[in-house]
């Protein structure tokens, strides 16, 4: 492609709306343009990158035996009502765009395709002989994200590869899950990315496993905790660890003491000259279930640890049946307005004890009249601990379970794992923190959707059994931007060769020099004929402008038909290393072909 004929517009200034380097660079280098909040156009250079990523994904999926298809983006609400997700997706979480057509039918724009694919499975899969099966598509998804940001990283319209597999049993599902794990590693390796596969939160779906694939980058929204021995890596939402050893409490006698102005653990441990590990911290949460029931949750956790809200949410969803509900739609630390709704009297915030009385909750129809008391595992072994006295300005010291307080009946792991904690699998290993961009997620769904939607198969014995399912997603457009976030310098993007829009760019420094033009034209023809995807910068611009633009758009190899052509040579610059060398004009094509082959 000739730059003179191309839609090629680069910007000198960083766009005001962009916060992270990859977003700035993709806009400045003319790859993408913002059309609205979370809505982007992929301009020709970007589209080439996306097609390359998609092709790598396609090849690796096909290699596992998965079959490509294309499912509708417009999805009837009936399907989502069958699975029970319509209300959660359109109202509670509000992630799904929905609309009403001229016949008054309700439709949603696909944020994901479990419902559609389960409908197809119900319609087409009859016998165990048809299984296992794995179907995938590469397509635009729609999600009304609360905070669209970072360009293609969190768009409201984005490209995803999603695959769905169907099985007779858990063992077959596990096998395909492993195949997908390998395929994902191949895809990310081939795209030239540094990544880590981590244990992920499977949310309320449960199932026996879920893994995320994280591209390592400082701007990543996710925190990963891993050990050096390579045996453990998890999203912080899911991570488990051994907390630091506790320091013995200095208090041996139970007493109530005045502790003015100690509403935080830090102030309290300083005031009492005791370790935060000797304190039982009591944290209040307000959970609202999908049947509008409000449950007030009082969590007792060791003073130096924090509540992991994802773990808490999962536990509360697990308890939902006991409140005749299916799921939790909101979970937060109650603010003043929330407290006004249910608090019978002002709460001793910052001074709460594990036995805070239920009469703080004023009787109301949609509020559970008792606190749901949960203990984090870290509080079980505490002795002579410090905790609140249920009175502002006072704490108790030297307290013990079964003496002054009873240990909550429900004990679960709710703590947030942190860098520096010891690993469960080997206490000699400590957790290390890194930031990542989630580009893929694989998931064992089990029978969640097949059961709800009646998708069954007939077994060898003639029984009707719900299909076992897995689902596997890769954010194609997010992955492309993540590659930039991982690889750029002060001059611009440095594309991995495998997904660069073009592999080489031939620059004519001076378009009025006929010799330069001829040499460049010849090279451009030969390179393209040899299968090297090549741009020709034949614009009537200064050489400096052309070099700057080539660096900005990040093409792996730059060839300059400058002074050296008099000696039958061309200057070749590698974008990543800026290494420059002069190569003979009649050999450069073969050499470049070799370099590219090696890089792929
Ligand atoms: P996140 O936690 O980042 O919101 P998710 O867990 O909701 O993502 P999945 O439903 O697992 O995402 O979707 C599969 C993949 O699609 C993700 O791993 C990610 O790469 C991509 N993806 C999800 N949401 C977006 C988005 N808003 N913009 C771009 N890519 C996205
Ligand atoms: Mg995910």
* Structural domain harbouring 457: 15-240+433-484
Instruction: Say whether both 514 and 453 belong to one domain.
Output: no
* Ligand 1 center–CA 38 separation, angstroms: 13
Q: What is the pLDDT of residues 539-593, one digit of tens each?
A: 999 999 999 999 999 999 999 999 999 999 999 999 999 999 999 999 999 999 9
pLDDT of 273 reads: 96
The answer, yes or no, to whether residue 457 has pLDDT greater than 70, is yes
Q: From CA 120, how far away is CA 111, in angstroms rounded?
A: 17
Nearest CA to ligand 1 atom 4: 154
For the CA of 475, the nearest ligand: 1
Q: From CA 476, how far away is CA 463, in angstroms rounded?
A: 40
Please choose from 470, 475, 480, 482 the residue to mutate so as to test ligand 1's pocket, defined by most ligand atoms within 8 A of CB: 475
Collapsed DSSP state (helix, strand, coil) of residue 90: helix
* Ligand 1 center–CA 475 separation, angstroms: 6
Q: What is the pLDDT of residues 1-11, one digit of tens each?
A: 999 999 999 99
What is the CATH number for 506?
3.40.50.800
Instruction: Say whether both 277 and 155 belong to one domain.
Output: no
Give yes or no for residue 162 CB within 6 A of ligand 1: no
The answer, yes or no, to whether residue 397 has pLDDT greater than 60, is yes
Instruction: Say whether both 234 and 280 belong to one domain.
Output: no
Average pLDDT over the chain reads 95
Q: Is residue 45 part of a domain?
A: yes
Instruction: Say whether both 174 and 283 belong to one domain.
Output: no
Tokens of 59: 């090849």
| Domain count for the chain | 3
Instruction: Say whether both 402 and 531 belong to one domain.
Output: no
Nearest CA to ligand 1 atom 24: 154
Q: Is residue 506 part of a domain?
A: yes
Question: Which of residues 454, 484, 514 is at a domain's end?
Answer: 484
Other CB atoms within 10 Å distance of the CB of residue 70: 9
Q: From CA 69, how far away is CA 57, in angstroms rounded?
A: 14
What is the CATH number for 470?
3.30.930.10
Instruction: Say whether both 215 and 147 belong to one domain.
Output: yes
Q: Is residue 350 part of a domain?
A: yes
Could you identify the atom of ligand 1 that is nearest to the CA of residue 439?
A: 20
Could you identify the atom of ligand 1 that is nearest to the CA of residue 148?
A: 27
Give yes or no for residue 38 CB within 6 A of ligand 1: no
Q: Is residue 5 part of a domain?
A: no
Cα dist. 214→99, 203, 343 in Å? 34, 18, 43
Could you tell me if 488 and 21 are in contact, meaning their C-beta atoms sit under 8 angstroms apart?
A: yes
pLDDT (average), residues 64-80: 98
pLDDT of 88 reads: 85
Give yes or no for residue 86 CB within 6 A of ligand 1: no
Tokens of 438: 């989630």
Q: From CA 413, how far away is CA 311, in angstroms rounded?
A: 8
Instruction: Say whether both 203 and 334 belong to one domain.
Output: no
* Ligand 1 center–CA 97 separation, angstroms: 16
Q: From CA 58, how far away is CA 53, in angstroms rounded?
A: 9
The answer, yes or no, to whether residue 329 has pLDDT greater than 90, is no
Residue 135, strand partner residues: 67, 164
Instruction: Say whether both 469 and 519 belong to one domain.
Output: no
* Contact partners, residue 574, CB within 8 Å, separation at least 6: 556, 557, 580
What phi, psi does 575 have (nearest 5°)? -60, -45
Q: From CA 431, how far away is CA 285, in angstroms rounded?
A: 28
Instruction: Say whether both 594 and 447 belong to one domain.
Output: no
Instruction: Say whether both 47 and 163 belong to one domain.
Output: yes
* Ligand 1 center–CA 147 separation, angstroms: 13
* CB environment 274-303: b (16+ within 10 A), e (fewer): bbbbbbbbbbbbbbbbbeebbbbbbbbbbb
Nearest CA to ligand 1 atom 21: 475
- The CA-based angle 159-163-166, given to 5 degrees, is 160
pLDDT of 204 reads: 59
Q: From CA 206, how far away is CA 222, in angstroms rounded?
A: 21
Could you please report the per-residue DSSP string of 22-88?
Answer: HHHHHHHTTSEEEEETTEEEE-HHHHHHHHHHHHHHHHHHHHTT-EE----SEEEHHHHHHHT-HHI
pLDDT of 365 reads: 86
* CB environment 243-273: b (16+ within 10 A), e (fewer): bbebeebebeeeeeeebeebeebeebbeebe
Tokens of 421: 């904690």
pLDDT (average), residues 511-530: 96
* Ligand 1 center–CA 104 separation, angstroms: 31
Q: From CA 316, how far away is CA 477, in angstroms rounded?
A: 34
pLDDT of 338 reads: 83
Q: From CA 296, how far away is CA 593, in angstroms rounded?
A: 66
Give yes or no for residue 28 CB within 6 A of ligand 1: no
pLDDT (average), residues 142-148: 96
User: CA dihedral defined by 461, 470, 86, 330, rounded to 10 degrees?
Assistant: 120
Local confidence band at 326 (pLDDT 50, 70, 90 cut-offs): confident
Nearest CA to ligand 1 atom 25: 154
Q: From CA 464, how far away is CA 537, in angstroms rounded?
A: 64
Instruction: Say whether both 397 and 310 belong to one domain.
Output: yes
Give yes or no for residue 192 CB within 6 A of ligand 1: no
Q: Is residue 8 part of a domain?
A: no
pLDDT of 514 reads: 95
Q: What is the pLDDT of residues 40-51, one digit of tens each?
A: 999 999 999 999
Could you tell me if 386 and 251 are in contact, meaning their C-beta atoms sit under 8 angstroms apart?
A: yes
Instruction: Say whether both 539 and 586 belong to one domain.
Output: yes
pLDDT of 207 reads: 59
Give yes or no for residue 144 CB within 6 A of ligand 1: no
Nearest CA to ligand 1 atom 18: 440
Could you identify the atom of ligand 1 that is nearest to the CA of residue 162?
A: 14
The answer, yes or no, to whether residue 150 has pLDDT greater than 80, is yes
The answer, yes or no, to whether residue 203 has pLDDT greater than 90, is no
* Ligand 2 center–CA 123 separation, angstroms: 28
pLDDT of 148 reads: 96
Give yes or no for residue 161 CB within 6 A of ligand 1: no
Q: From CA 173, how far away is CA 444, in angstroms rounded?
A: 7
Give yes or no for residue 439 CB within 6 A of ligand 1: yes
Local confidence band at 340 (pLDDT 50, 70, 90 cut-offs): confident
Q: Is residue 428 part of a domain?
A: no
Question: Which of residues 484, 517, 545 is at a domain's end?
Answer: 484
- The CA-based angle 567-2-29, given to 5 degrees, is 105
pLDDT of 206 reads: 54
* Ligand 1 center–CA 31 separation, angstroms: 21
What is the CATH number for 321?
3.90.960.10
* Ligand 1 center–CA 90 separation, angstroms: 17
Q: Is residue 24 part of a domain?
A: yes
Give yes or no for residue 155 CB within 6 A of ligand 1: yes
Could you identify the atom of ligand 1 that is nearest to the CA of residue 143?
A: 27
Q: Is residue 581 part of a domain?
A: yes
Give yes or no for residue 143 CB within 6 A of ligand 1: yes
pLDDT of 518 reads: 96
């Amino acid at each position: 492609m000739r730059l003179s004929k191309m839609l090629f517009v680069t910007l000198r200034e960083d766009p005001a709306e962009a916060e992270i380097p990859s977003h700035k660079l993709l806009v400045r280098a003319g790859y993408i343009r913002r059309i609205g909040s979370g809505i982007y156009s992929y301009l020709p250079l970007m589209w080439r990158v996306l097609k390359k990523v998609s092709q790598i994904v396609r090849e690796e999926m096909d290699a596992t035996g998965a079959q490509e298809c294309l499912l509708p983006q417009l999805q009837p609400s009936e399907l989502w009502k069958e699975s029970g997700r319509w209300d959660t997706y359109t109202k509670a979480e509000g992630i799904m765009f929905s609309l009403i057509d001229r016949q008054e039918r309700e439709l949603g724009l696909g944020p994901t395709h479990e419902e559609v694919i389960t409908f197809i499975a119900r319609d087409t899969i009859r016998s165990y002989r048809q299984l296992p099966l794995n179907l995938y598509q590469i397509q635009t998804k729609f999600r009304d994200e609360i905070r669209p940001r970072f360009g293609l990283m969190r768009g409201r319209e984005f490209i995803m590869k999603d695959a769905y597999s169907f099985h007779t049993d858990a063992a077959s599902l596990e096998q395909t899950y492993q195949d997908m794990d390998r395929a994902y590693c191949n895809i990310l390796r081939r795209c030239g990315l540094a990544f880590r596969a981590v244990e992920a939160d499977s949310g309320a779906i449960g199932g026996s496993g879920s893994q995320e694939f994280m591209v390592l980058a400082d701007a990543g929204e996710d925190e990963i905790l891993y050990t050096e021995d390579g045996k453990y890596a998890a999203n912080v939402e899911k991570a488990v660890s051994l907390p630091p050893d506790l320091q013995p409490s200095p208090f041996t006698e139970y007493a109530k003491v005045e502790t003015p102005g100690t509403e935080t653990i830090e102030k309290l441990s300083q005031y009492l000259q005791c370790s935060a590990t000797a304190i039982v911290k009591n944290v209040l949460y307000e959970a609202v279930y999908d049947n509008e029931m409000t449950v007030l949750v009082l969590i007792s956790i060791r003073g130096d640890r924090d509540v992991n809200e994802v773990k808490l949410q999962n536990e509360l969803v697990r308890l939902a049946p006991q409140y005749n509900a299916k799921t939790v739609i909101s979970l937060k630390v109650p603010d003043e307005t929330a407290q006004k709704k249910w608090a019978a009297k002002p709460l001793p915030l910052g001074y709460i004890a594990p036995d805070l009385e239920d009469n703080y909750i004023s009787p109301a129809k949609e509020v559970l009249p008792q606190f749901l008391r949960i203990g984090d595992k870290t509080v079980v072994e505490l002795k002579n601990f410090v905790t609140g006295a249920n009175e502002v300005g006072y704490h108790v010291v030297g307290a013990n379970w079964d003496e002054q307080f009873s240990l909550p009946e429900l004990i679960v792991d709710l703590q947030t794992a942190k860098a520096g904690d010891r690993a469960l699998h080997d206490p000699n290993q400590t957790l290390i923190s890194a930031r990542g961009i989630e580009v893929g997620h694989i998931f064992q769904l089990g029978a969640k959707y097949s059961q709800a939607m009646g998708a069954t198969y007939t077994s060898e014995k003639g029984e009707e059994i719900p299909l076992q399912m897995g689902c596997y997603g890769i954010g194609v457009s997010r992955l492309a931007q993540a590659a930039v976030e991982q690889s750029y310098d002060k001059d611009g993007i440095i594309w991995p060769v495998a997904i660069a829009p073009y592999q080489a760019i031939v620059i004519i420094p001076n378009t009025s020099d006929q010799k330069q033009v001829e040499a460049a034209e010849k090279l451009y023809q030969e390179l393209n004929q040899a299968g090297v995807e090549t741009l020709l910068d034949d614009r009537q611009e200064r050489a400096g402008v052309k070099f700057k633009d080539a660096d900005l758009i990040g093409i792996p190899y730059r060839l300059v038909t400058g002074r050296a052509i008099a000696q039958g040579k061309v200057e070749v610059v590698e974008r990543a290393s800026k290494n420059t060398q002069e190569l003979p004009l009649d050999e450069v094509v073969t050499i470049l072909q070799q370099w590219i082959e090696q890089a792929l």
